[in-house]
Structure 1
Amino acid sequence: MFVSRSRRTVVPAALSVVALLAALITTSSSRLRAQTADSTRATVGQAIRATRAPDIDGRENDAVWRAATPMTAFRQFEPGENGEPTFRTEARAAYDDRYLYVIVRAFDPHPDSLAALLSRRDVKTASDQLKIIIDAYHDGRTGVELAVNPAGVKRDYSIYGDITEDATWDGVWDVATSIDSLGWIAEYRVPFSQLRFTARDVHTFGFGVWRDITRLNERTGWPLYRPSRRTLISQLGTLEGITGIGTPRRLELLPYTVTKSVPNPAVPRGGVRGSLAGGLDLKAGLGSRVTIDATVNPDFGQVEADPAVLNLSAFEIRFDERRPFFQEGAGLYRCGGSCEGIFYTRRIGRTPQLRRSNADALFTNITAAAKITGRFDNGLAFGLVNASTEQVRGADGATIEPQTNYLVLRGLREMRGGRSQLGMELTDVRRRSDAATDPFLRRAATTLLLQGYHRFARDRWEVMGYTGLNEVSGSAKSIALTQRNSVHFYQRPDHEETYDSTRTAMGGVVVSAGIKQVGGRVRYENVLRYASAGVEMNDLGFVNLVNDMSFRQSLDLRQLRPNRVLRSSFSTMSAETHWTTGGLLAAQTVSVHTSGSLLNNWGGAITASLSDVGNTHCVSCARGGPALRQSMKNNLRFDLVGDPRPVVVPRAAYRIGTSDEGRSWYRGADAGAEWRFASRFSTSLALNYDQVTNDQQWIGNYGAFLSDTTHFTFARLHQHILGITMRANWTATPTLSFQLYAQPFVTTGQYSNWRELSDARADEYDDRFSTFRTSAPANFNVKQFNSNAVLRWEYRPASAIFLVWQQGRAQDARNPGVFVPGRDVRDLFGARPLNTLLLKVSYWFNP
């Protein structure tokens, strides 16, 4: 049951937003039911039944290709929309009971100029490319993309929401390529078991073909694709003539075994532990509309490590999800806006929250996880994720992460060909707490989201809205910690809510509404958001901004055709204002950004912003102390990117900023390049360096809790930050590759001028602080190194062997506060390495 005083007036308003969207959708649906499909879908291709399956050899000498009708009406969409293609392209389609076959002939008068670079699967290079797009449901919202370059390197994506690509989907399909005197050919064989469609006698698929010509930086498509419309699947043509294929059996099994040699941090002079484990991934079709994905004892040891970072802010840092099981199909759980914070998959299998030492486990093992998804002809779709993680004990035997169950349920209804949507999402977390965890971790957390959008005026405008209700519960001590954490800071003396140490539950509501123009050269957006103070979604989500009312507006300008100077350009202006729910001005930002690509394919961007404009106050800076008045900040950034086609592609960036009336400042630069010195070898190097002075870096709060004697202290911090990121790739064949990632990271900090708050809202900057101590906090020198080397061999379709070597180093005891780059990097490599060696073997079954 959701309870909160602040929600009594907000919940009716929130629900009215969704109700208004439902009314708009119903009205538009009745008005548009009789309209014909968009004109771009009028182009129709015909697939013929193959009496004899073609040999997948990249050649067009099979009888079926001579009989098939070609699709030839290709049009250019980059650099100019609806332009005449430089070279001719033809595509043909056929099928039998098990497969869809497609062959694409890309004519080119200079085949020796084709760009055909080798890389491992799913890595995009500056190569020519042919891609087929299939919407087997023919719903105008979902589909798959299957791409290949002349060297035979495959890339594939799933698509959701009409335009959003999910690069983590790995289908099982075949393609062969060849280069001849006329250009090049790609010949596809796509199992119907890899597509999702409903059972019927006659099928019509959404269908499209795209071609990239790298040396001309040109893209063409069948049928005409218009980038100005911000849609993709709904612009496809149709592929007709497919009959009598039935519903394929869909069952895939991927058992795997993993052997590891991992470091033992508890042994001072080194030591390793060996382990042998196994697991299973399963994918099965429950009828033609429902799919289940499951994993038992998964291992993601081949996944690249997170970048090193030192976080001195009040809030945690969000890292990207890299684990394939959680990446695939994630689009169903996104709603195209800030409501996506409700489900952050990195919470599942997280670092134990009560981890105390390096001897404790770094990750929580996932015992089992399952996803069920379904999609129906009437626009209904649903998804369910359930995952269970094991109890983790620390080196001292105490529980540092309890056994936990995570549940996510998503349901939606799409109408008007996907132009309107109403949806809901429910997340629930349940922890099996014990005496060690009950005072610190919440036992349960539940969130319910209702959302919708509606496009109108020929898909050029969109209104959206959502509302979320949330509640967490646990022991009084754990809820007291929740009230005092960096998301809430209920102990702040000028907070809108009252800290209550006896609570055993808390919750809140989030509501948002917006309108935006999504098509055309000029685009405009307005968004309103309200989040009450009690919202706590971080058990399974990632929402740090609560106790907030905000208004954001932006204006975008896009160039649709090349001119005498620019191939393309994009500019945007935005303004954003935040208040606490009590009306205190918390932030105000104005920014301008412009980017473009020259006719020689070099690109650049300029971004400028002013923040904390006006009488704004930081409610988190004092970590539970009073809101601190802020002085205006200004930031400026320049980016430069070289032409992606040559052997060396340079990149550079420079950034500067000042704040606190000139007392705080930063300047930094990035420099790097990608270097492909052979078709099979490529490498990249990126160097970033920042010098930062923060005159109001929080240090600590001292004194009696919730009393007038508490000292909220700050200091001046001068910091150097150096990071070097190196990558190397070697590809023997499209199925055998080696990748190396390495990143040394060094940051030093030197403190001075230790002060405490005296008058947090004083007009004059110096009047806000007074001396706390004449000494300064301890300086630091933090050094980290992470590397990941992966040899991958796909020895048969979807079956792979991974040999992985990971190394980590850390050191923070030497030369605190003193930055000498060469010495610091040498010292880092003198630190004890922690090496992990992993061998993972998987075998794909399709019984």
Structure 2
Amino acid sequence: MSGTDTRPSDGAGARRVAAALAYLLACAAAAADPGDIVARRISAHVHLDGRLDDAAWAEAPVFSGFVESFPRAGVPASFRTEVRVVYDDETLYVGITCFDPEPGAIVRQLARRDGNPTADQVEIALDTGADGRTAYDFTVNAAGVLRDQLLFADVNATDSWDAVWDAAVSVDARGWSAEVAIPFHQLRFSSAPEQRWGILVRRTIPRTHQVLDSVPIPREANPVNAGGLVVSRFGRLEGLVELNPRQGLELLPYAATRASLRPQYSDPSRPGPRLLDPGLDVGLDLKTRIARRLTLTAALNPDFGQVETDQVIQNLSNAEPFFPEKRPFFLEGLDIFQPVGSEYGSPQQLFYSRRIGIDAPILGAAKVTGAVRPGLDLGVLDSLVMGAGNASLVPVGYGSADPGALAPYEERPDRRWRFHSTLPFHLGPEDALPAAHPVTTNYFAAVARQRLGGRTTAGATFTAATPLEPRCRRSEFATDADYAAAGCASHGGNAVGVDLTVPGDWGGFAQLEASQAVGGPPEGRTLQDGTVLRAGDLGYGGHLRAGKLGGEPWRFDVTYVYEDPRLDLNAVGFQPLSNYQWADLDVHYVRPSGFGPFHAFQVDYNLDLNWSADGTSLPRGVNTSLAASLQLPGYQTIGAKVALELPQYDTREIAGAGVPFERIGDVLAVLILKSDPNRRLQASGDVFAYRTLRRGPFAPRTGVGLDLTAYWRPHDRLETRLDVAYGRKPQGPRWIETLPDETAVFGDQDPEFLSVTVRQQLVFTPRLTAQLYAQLFTSAIRYGRDFYGASLPQRRRVSTSDLAPLAYPGAPGGHDAVANVNAVVRWEYRLGSTLYVVYTRSQRELPAQGAPAPTSVAPAGLFRGPTIETVLVKWAWWWET
């Protein structure tokens, strides 16, 4: 589909009579329900130029019954908005006229596709399954910037979904208007001869902060995002008959060539010399409908070189941080793989797509998503990862030796280009491959969710990570002893879960799951809390949340989470904690529609009780917090939070020992400020003060920090975003290492970090943009002069009172500084086809050799450290049949 003319084919006489009859019935229905919009089949063509002056628009009924949802909920719209919907055999067209008495005041901020700048915009959401749960959402602003997202589970939204569609806008003396063209084959809907879809059209006017809707949606109706869309409250789109679009096959072949300049040696203390590694990749993405409501998406050797780098953070916990998915293939249809309650932060996620492709390139992947029948949604994904290793570094590359041990092998790099059957679509020098060949692994995930009645759903999920080979091969080692010492057993895991969701103001959700260990060494592998997991071991867990989740002013709910010590979802999923159970009570007083001169008000209280799940009921912590926020008449927001955290015993602190350690508590106070979000210069952030509690020999310590985000839009084509984060948060005693005599060593840890991130966007046109991302991150982890020890044998737990002064010769402090740069020029030279030019630079500080680590956060030695620079040119051509 492109912005060219589209003409429908002639139908039979009976078909036209049926269409006319359906149209008349729809008109009658629309007259009875002011929220309904009527579509009209057309014989004339539509030319996308943003002006609704084609003859086809004259045939369409006009809908103008908009109401204001914010800031004055429920009053008739003060800005007239007209909507017309027409369609032919292939495309649904939506024309929207936005009348404005001040056309010169219309905000026309530009951004790259899928950006969401502050601008006048219109949004069209279509519930094509008419199930009140899922909808496709299309947005175009007054500058012509396109954005699409998927609404799921009634109140959730993700911008991960992308479709090929088009729109054009025009500004004139009356205001502005938009023409939107959505190909039917980009949507999923039933084969019924007459369709009744849900629809909502929303207009946003930033200079007045007004939100106008075609059907009123109270701000409290969405418990996750106040004022967000709620699919079950949409109006109806009538008049769609005899839709039979072509099947549609989309192919997106690509070629990516890159040149990387990297250090020859992996030892970070030897940043030079550097080698130039050229490389070439080819691949293919494919999408087609295999049924009216099922879509097949596949990828062969997908390349994600244009994706922005993950932000560097300081992680002081012993749990893995969560990073959002950014890769296009996995974003498509990701909604059905989301766990129930993901909007509240799921503690147990059976499928975490970031697991795929971490250690090995993706050779191929395919997924099927959609509805098998009305009310039954399905998602199936299978992905095969494999790659090749640098044979000249084997077998030393399988060990965890100091990087200096690789130096003799790296002295004479193998610069030859070879074909590898496990990496068939990539060309590059041999020494650019990893030191050990990645394990060929198959990742599988399947989800099915059935609507039971009303909006209640039940679901089942199965995931599997199946290694297809050992981590290394006998032929790569000189002797059997060397092979055995390398620990070549690979491991994976299976998981299964069932879930139930009862949406509504009174409702909740629950999930039960089980995991099974696959592979690994015969003696088992030891988890961080000391649990030994052997092949075939089962683990169990679950979570639930129930209560009054929506409405106003009062909401409250209870949460319970259970994680068996042997529950391990991390082969394919995400499970940051283990051997854990906790119960939460949340009470909220919410006024999202505001009161008096204020636009919104909220108070939140939380009580969190934690204990172990191994049968000992070991106390894991008690936490409580109280927070409040208020949106002022000028649309600024102020808020505050106070919290008390008593973490008690942590089973993972002394890594692999299985002996819990008592952590100290703290008191936290936070002040939150946010300016008017619709100004060209805006800022938001918080500052906090932190005080540890006295425990044993450890005196209270004070910490401070801040998080700040600022936007500046000096011109419609420019946007600068600045993120600054600083923190100094004393931790009290933290484990450093366990000595050979099984004495655990602890030190009084005093960490500090500073992160500055800049994102600069320059938009030439909505289809040609340049974007710069740069982050400077530096951190220092210091310890007090004194160290402490505790002997572990025969101990069930270690408390702070058990710690005794210890003469420790080590210097456990650390320092890190990183500078990452990512610059992307994106040109959508034709609809769906893109050209990327990408420059990335990553630099890490030069290690302090033979000297204590720096104690300040100043980036000492950063620009003398090892650097990797890459230039990528990626060309993709979208082709449709």
TM-score past 0.5 threshold: yes
Residues in 2 aligned to 1:286 and 1:626: alpha-carbon distance in whole angstroms: 54
Paired residue secondary structure (2:119): coil
Q: How do 1:226-305 and structure 2 match up within 5 A?
A: 226-230=218-222, 232-267=230-265, 268-305=272-309
Report whether the alignment pairs 1:846 with 2:864: no
Q: How do 1:70-149 and structure 2 match up within 5 A?
A: 70-149=62-141
Residues in 2 aligned to 1:252 and 1:641: alpha-carbon distance in whole angstroms: 43
Residues in 2 aligned to 1:644 and 1:50: alpha-carbon distance in whole angstroms: 41
TM-superposition CA deviations, 1:514-573 (whole Å, max 9, x none): 312132112211122222111111111111322222211211222133334421122211
Q: CA deviation at 1:102?
A: 1.0
Paired residue secondary structure (2:201): strand
Report whether the alignment pairs 1:428 with 2:464: yes
Paired residue secondary structure (2:729): strand
Task: Give the match for residue 718 of structure 2.
Answer: 681
Task: Give the match for residue 162 of structure 1.
Answer: 154
- 1:509 pairs, out of 540, 544, 549, with 540
Residues in 2 aligned to 1:158 and 1:435: alpha-carbon distance in whole angstroms: 39
What fraction of aligned residue pairs are identical, expressed as a percent? 27
Q: CA deviation at 1:691?
A: 2.0
Length-normalised TM-score, structure 2: 0.84
Q: Is the alpha carbon distance of 1:222 and 1:377 closer, same or farther for their aligned partners in structure 2, counting shifts above 3 Å?
A: farther
Conserved in 2, the CA contact under 8 Å of 1:40 and 1:224? no
Residues in 2 aligned to 1:270 and 1:748: alpha-carbon distance in whole angstroms: 28
Residues in 1 aligned to 2:489 and 2:450: alpha-carbon distance in whole angstroms: 36
Conserved in 2, the CA contact under 8 Å of 1:258 and 1:839? yes
Conserved in 2, the CA contact under 8 Å of 1:392 and 1:403? no
- 1:485 pairs, out of 527, 532, 547, with 527
TM-superposition CA deviations, 1:362-413 (whole Å, max 9, x none): xx21000011113044301111000000044366224453100000011110
Paired residue secondary structure (1:572): strand
Task: Give the match for residue 739 of structure 2.
Answer: 702
Residue identity opposite 1:427 in structure 2? T
Conserved in 1, the CA contact under 8 Å of 2:253 and 2:284? yes
Q: How do 1:454-603 and structure 2 match up within 5 A?
A: 454-455=502-503, 459-477=504-522, 480-481=524-525, 484-486=526-528, 488-490=529-531, 503-521=534-552, 522-581=554-613, 582-603=616-637
- 1:411 pairs, out of 448, 453, 460, with 448
- Structure 1 window deviating more from structure 2 (737-746 vs 371-380): it is 371-380
Conserved in 1, the CA contact under 8 Å of 2:667 and 2:693? no
Conserved in 2, the CA contact under 8 Å of 1:552 and 1:577? yes
- 1:742 pairs, out of 774, 777, 780, with 774
TM-superposition CA deviations, 1:738-758 (whole Å, max 9, x none): 000000111123323111126
Report whether the alignment pairs 1:782 with 2:782: no
Conserved in 2, the CA contact under 8 Å of 1:536 and 1:543? yes
Q: CA deviation at 1:819?
A: 4.6
Residue identity opposite 1:520 in structure 2? G
Residues in 1 aligned to 2:799 and 2:466: alpha-carbon distance in whole angstroms: 47
Conserved in 2, the CA contact under 8 Å of 1:702 and 1:712? yes
Report whether the alignment pairs 1:48 with 2:92: no
Residue identity opposite 2:661 in structure 1? L
Report whether the alignment pairs 1:449 with 2:497: yes
Length-normalised TM-score, structure 1: 0.87
Q: Is the alpha carbon distance of 1:649 and 1:433 closer, same or farther for their aligned partners in structure 2, counting shifts above 3 Å?
A: same
Paired residue secondary structure (1:331): helix
Q: Is the alpha carbon distance of 1:769 and 1:812 closer, same or farther for their aligned partners in structure 2, counting shifts above 3 Å?
A: farther
Residues in 2 aligned to 1:429 and 1:536: alpha-carbon distance in whole angstroms: 12
Task: Give the match for residue 11 of structure 1.
Answer: none
Q: CA deviation at 1:254?
A: 0.4
Residues in 1 aligned to 2:33 and 2:355: alpha-carbon distance in whole angstroms: 42
Task: Give the match for residue 672 of structure 2.
Answer: 639
- 1:317 pairs, out of 311, 315, 321, with 321
Residue identity opposite 1:636 in structure 2? A
- Structure 1 window deviating more from structure 2 (316-325 vs 730-739): it is 316-325
Report whether the alignment pairs 1:380 with 2:428: no
TM-superposition CA deviations, 1:726-747 (whole Å, max 9, x none): 1100000000000000001111
TM-superposition CA deviations, 1:454-512 (whole Å, max 9, x none): 24xxx3211422211111032445x632xx222x423xxxxxxxx58xx4432211133
Q: Is the alpha carbon distance of 1:766 and 1:794 closer, same or farther for their aligned partners in structure 2, counting shifts above 3 Å?
A: closer
| Count of aligned pairs between the two proteins | 771
Paired residue secondary structure (2:861): helix
Residue identity opposite 1:271 in structure 2? L
Residues in 1 aligned to 2:287 and 2:565: alpha-carbon distance in whole angstroms: 42
Q: Is the alpha carbon distance of 1:778 and 1:576 closer, same or farther for their aligned partners in structure 2, counting shifts above 3 Å?
A: closer
Residues in 1 aligned to 2:195 and 2:689: alpha-carbon distance in whole angstroms: 57
Q: CA deviation at 1:157?
A: 0.7
Residues in 1 aligned to 2:800 and 2:241: alpha-carbon distance in whole angstroms: 79
Residue identity opposite 1:88 in structure 2? R
Q: How do 1:717-756 and structure 2 match up within 5 A?
A: 717-751=749-783, 752-756=785-789
TM-superposition CA deviations, 1:314-373 (whole Å, max 9, x none): 2222222111111121110123323651111111001x3xxxxxxxxxxx2100001111
Conserved in 2, the CA contact under 8 Å of 1:41 and 1:236? no
Task: Give the match for residue 7 of structure 1.
Answer: none
Task: Give the match for residue 805 of structure 1.
Answer: 839
Residues in 1 aligned to 2:63 and 2:347: alpha-carbon distance in whole angstroms: 41
Paired residue secondary structure (2:762): strand
Q: Is the alpha carbon distance of 1:286 and 1:640 closer, same or farther for their aligned partners in structure 2, counting shifts above 3 Å?
A: same
Residues in 1 aligned to 2:813 and 2:348: alpha-carbon distance in whole angstroms: 38
Residues in 2 aligned to 1:121 and 1:454: alpha-carbon distance in whole angstroms: 35
Residues in 2 aligned to 1:762 and 1:408: alpha-carbon distance in whole angstroms: 39
Residues in 2 aligned to 1:518 and 1:625: alpha-carbon distance in whole angstroms: 38
Paired residue secondary structure (2:189): coil
Task: Give the match for residue 397 of structure 1.
Answer: 394
Residue identity opposite 1:322 in structure 2? K
Conserved in 2, the CA contact under 8 Å of 1:758 and 1:769? no
Residues in 2 aligned to 1:572 and 1:544: alpha-carbon distance in whole angstroms: 25
Residue identity opposite 2:735 in structure 1? W
Task: Give the match for residue 3 of structure 1.
Answer: none
Q: CA deviation at 1:608?
A: 1.7
Q: CA deviation at 1:304?
A: 0.5
Residues in 2 aligned to 1:303 and 1:133: alpha-carbon distance in whole angstroms: 27
Task: Give the match for residue 715 of structure 1.
Answer: 747
Q: Is the alpha carbon distance of 1:370 and 1:131 closer, same or farther for their aligned partners in structure 2, counting shifts above 3 Å?
A: same
Task: Give the match for residue 667 of structure 1.
Answer: 704
Residues in 1 aligned to 2:679 and 2:187: alpha-carbon distance in whole angstroms: 37
Residues in 1 aligned to 2:220 and 2:312: alpha-carbon distance in whole angstroms: 38
Q: CA deviation at 1:694?
A: 2.6
Task: Give the match for residue 655 of structure 1.
Answer: 688
Q: Is the alpha carbon distance of 1:166 and 1:51 closer, same or farther for their aligned partners in structure 2, counting shifts above 3 Å?
A: same
Residue identity opposite 2:524 in structure 1? A
Q: Is the alpha carbon distance of 1:807 and 1:631 closer, same or farther for their aligned partners in structure 2, counting shifts above 3 Å?
A: closer
TM-superposition CA deviations, 1:587-623 (whole Å, max 9, x none): 111112222321112123222211117xx32222222
Residues in 2 aligned to 1:536 and 1:105: alpha-carbon distance in whole angstroms: 54
Report whether the alignment pairs 1:206 with 2:198: yes
Q: Is the alpha carbon distance of 1:207 and 1:51 closer, same or farther for their aligned partners in structure 2, counting shifts above 3 Å?
A: same
Q: Is the alpha carbon distance of 1:569 and 1:696 closer, same or farther for their aligned partners in structure 2, counting shifts above 3 Å?
A: same
